[in-house]
Amino acid sequence: MDLFKSFHPLEKKLKQCGGMSLSKEKQVEMKHRILAAVAKNEVVNEPAFAKLIIKIKEIAQQLNPREHFRILLKEKLLMIAEFQASRRFFLPARLRTTFVRRAFASALAFVFVFSVLFNSTFKIEVAQASFLTSLEYVSGTVEVVRDGNVLVGDMGFVLKADDVIRTGKDSKAVIKFLDQSVSRLDEDTEIKISRLFVNPLNKTETTVEVVLNKGRLWSRVINLINNLSSFQVKVHNALAVAKKKAAFDVSLSSKGRAKVSAVKNKVDLVVATDRKVVETTLVKGFSAEVKSETNTGLPKVSQEKPDVAQEKWVKDNLVQDQAYIETVKQDVKDQMSDQVKMLPGNPLYAMKELSESTKLVLTFDDFDKKKKVVMVAQEKLAEAEVLLEKGDAIGADPLLKEFQSQIDEVHQWASAFEATHPVQVMELRTMISSMLDGYEKQLAVILPDDSLYVLKTAIGNTKILVAAGPVQKTEEKLSQATEKLNEAHDLVEQGNQAGAVAQVQEYQNAISDVVSEVKQMQSDDKEKAVSAIIDTKAEDLKSLEALVSQPETADAVEVTVPVVAPNLLPIGTGTAPVQTLAPTEAIQGTSSIPLALGTDTLAVGGSSTVGFSAETLVQPEVIVPAPQVPAVGSELLTGEVAKPSPAQTAELKKTVADAKTETLTRLGEAVLEVQQNKASVPVMQKLQDIKKMDMNGKPLMDITLSRDKVTIKSDGNVISITPPVVTPPTTGLKTPESLPVQP
């Protein structure tokens, strides 16, 4: 009979198992442990059982039984109810041993059955980058110099630190880095990858360092979220650093003139001379030049109108960036979807949940059990993602709530046992933090108009939920508020002014709520929270300024995107067919270094391109080229970005102005709150640091502080904050309207 043919491979596998016999002494010892656990009506953590379960799982994963055999085994699932009941009800002593034996046999059968049916394991991982750096595209002559050997740089060539990559005449190369940033090398360009780093304990913390020896290099950073992460390009004595989302261009002419141009958002610039170290922030549209390698000249910062060659280079790369971001976004969705074997509504979904419950029941160590709860929560999140992609937000909602509930359950357990099990709790917290950070990084490209934005919001809320203590919660809420500004930048690039206005308003409301909560904190926590507010608000002000300083799109722009495997092909090369992507987000964000500038240091902001010399700051007309339709392939499909109306632009500017005022006011309130009782040294130091920060060639802000007043000057505005006037309570006596008449 065909049915019994399915038993033969199982029988064969079981016979191949090594002898699982125990000595007489071990048998008696195990019996005593089981009986002791039964007497207490508890499940015993029996090492021999654990090994047996592992062995059965391994066998189950190697088998692929016939469908008829699978259906027959499903009846075993019902037996698990008996096993679970053993933990809830009292049994006569004479029945306990028999019952536990049968229940455990049923549980083992269940684990085996479901492993066979669905090959289900607790191995749901966060969709993350591969952490490889490689040549994603090459055209013409591309060489890699490694350990003195010259190698041919083919597509897919895996790169490592200290490799030198160079392109020949009429040749180009595209590098995808381990942090999902991408760089494109123009012809006759040579770079050295000086550092590639991923923190093994938190894989969202990455560092990429590149040195440009000659030529031109475009870099796009799309999803750095960790404050310790950075993408750096060094040329001569200048270092361009992106710490969040950014697009920037670095070039080195044959005459030794180095130039750094900020094309999207902000890039920090550090120039080391023999006399001092100059630090500034280049805002979109500004460039800085260093004329020689002598390390004596100060950088020249200016807004320059790009020439024709620069214009095409920028346009081509912006279009390729849009295509690449879409590819990353789709990869995230695909990776999460691949983790899902079935969804709610599937006839077997109840069995899947029963399998998960059983595995948790059979995990006797609380610490291991909580780790599995985290894995189950990840499954729920992946299932929610698939439903959201299908447009089923109603079906995804309970899964997202269950995800948050399970993560909170583990968080509460960790908080309760932190004093007695510090090592295990630290491992759990690291596990949860790494998981949430991984999701946050992958979802950084998701905007409010995407179906997965609900998922992104759930991750942000969960990070706040599991934050350890009020100060960390404040820091996380500030981070989430800043992300609203990043999204506003992306939406402006898409031409969605209304969406950008909504995100700035969300940011404004979030900041107001955070400061209100900080006022209620205890003194020590309040001081630390205010320090965090000062750190983030200075950068948020720069981001707000950059948001409105961006030039309007002159006309509707047609965008054509070439289709390549990673969508990284330099435009103007090859004959790949082309697809249309309605202009996607050109990722926006902030990135800066704490500035400590001397009196002769120039800091910039605004909207255009950038360069270096010791001449006077000039501000010509700001020009940011719109992407052109590239001549690639034979099929051209286009998308269009509509020009925002004057009313939409005016509304955005007004909203940003209101947000600036709100930010400065709340900053002043927070500083005044912590200074009323006693002067805070850390807060005072941070205020001094802020005074040294420049933006657009002028101080970012000036703060004057006294015991009962904070005055902030920024961008021509003066805001004074004083403590609220407390009205004394009335005594409750009533004054008669008129005197009584005397007889």
Q: Which structure tokens are listed for 686? A: 């941070």
- DSSP for 93-104? HHHHHHHHHHHH
> How far is the C-alpha of 539 from the C-alpha of 700, rounded, in Å?
10
pLDDT at 92: 43
Cβ contact 259:288 at 8 Å: yes
At 162, the amino acid letter reads: D
Q: Which structure tokens are listed for 131? A: 């952490």
- pLDDT of 596-612, one tens digit each? 333 333 333 333 333 33
DSSP state of 174: E
SS3 content of the chain, % helix, strand, coil (to 5): 45, 20, 35
Strand-pair partners of 694: 699
Q: Which structure tokens are listed for 690? A: 């802020």
For the chain, list residues with pLDDT below 50: 1-4, 6, 38, 40-44, 67-69, 71-72, 74-97, 116-125, 127, 308-309, 551-640, 733, 735-736, 738-739, 741, 743
Cβ contact 181:208 at 8 Å: yes
Which residues are within 8 A (CB) of 285 and not within 5 positions of it... i.e. 6 or more apart? Answer: 262, 263, 303, 549, 550, 551, 606, 607, 608, 609, 610, 622, 623, 624
Alpha helices (H) along 362-496: 366-389, 393-417, 422-442, 453-465, 469-493
Which helix (H) or strand (E) covers residue 231, if one does?
strand 230-235
> How far is the C-alpha of 374 from the C-alpha of 370, rounded, in Å?
6
Angle formed by the axes of helices 646-675 and 681-691, nearest 10°: 140
Q: Which structure tokens are listed for 436? A: 């949430």
pLDDT at 670: 84
> How far is the C-alpha of 386 from the C-alpha of 340, rounded, in Å?
8
Which helix (H) or strand (E) covers residue 361, if one does?
helix 349-361
How many degrees, rounded to 5, is the angle at CA 532 between CA 526 and CA 535?
A: 145
pLDDT at 601: 34
In degrees and rounded to multiples of 5, residue 619 shows phi and psi of: -135, 80
pLDDT at 599: 32
Cβ contact 158:122 at 8 Å: no
Residue 283 buriedness (CB in 10 A; 0-12 / 13-18 / 19+): buried
DSSP state of 488: H
> How far is the C-alpha of 324 from the C-alpha of 181, rounded, in Å?
10
pLDDT at 221: 94
Q: CA nearest 380: which of 411, 359, 349?
A: 349
Cβ contact 448:502 at 8 Å: yes
- DSSP for 123-159? ----------EEEEEEES-EEEEETTEEEE--TTPEE
Q: CA nearest 696: which of 593, 596, 606?
A: 606
The greatest distance separating any two alpha carbons of the chain, rounded to the nearest whole angstrom, comes to 120
Q: CA nearest 46: which of 22, 24, 62?
A: 22
Which residues are within 8 A (CB) of 239 and not within 5 positions of it... i.e. 6 or more apart? Answer: 232, 233, 269, 270, 271, 272
DSSP state of 618: B
Residue 127 buriedness (CB in 10 A; 0-12 / 13-18 / 19+): buried
Q: Which structure tokens are listed for 700? A: 């970012």
Measured on CA atoms in the order 233, 235, 236, 240, is the torsion positive or negative?
negative
Q: Do β-strands 230-235 and 202-221 pair in parallel, antiparallel, or remain unpaired? A: parallel
pLDDT at 718: 85
DSSP state of 371: H
- DSSP for 431-465? HHHHHHHHHHHHGGG--TTSTTHHHHHHHHHHHHH
CA atoms within 13 A of residue 666's CA, in its CB half-sphere: 30
Domains and CATH numbers, the chain: 2-118 (no CATH), 133-326 (2.60.120.1440)
Angle formed by the axes of helices 422-442 and 393-417, nearest 10°: 150
pLDDT at 170: 94
pLDDT at 109: 56
One-letter-per-residue 3-state SS of 502-543: HHHHHHHHHHHHHHHHHCCCCHHHHHHHHHHHHHHHHHHHHH
Strand-pair partners of 335: none
Tell me if residue 208 falls in helix, strand or coil.
Answer: strand
pLDDT at 9: 61
What count of residues does the chain have? 743
> How far is the C-alpha of 125 from the C-alpha of 608, rounded, in Å?
41
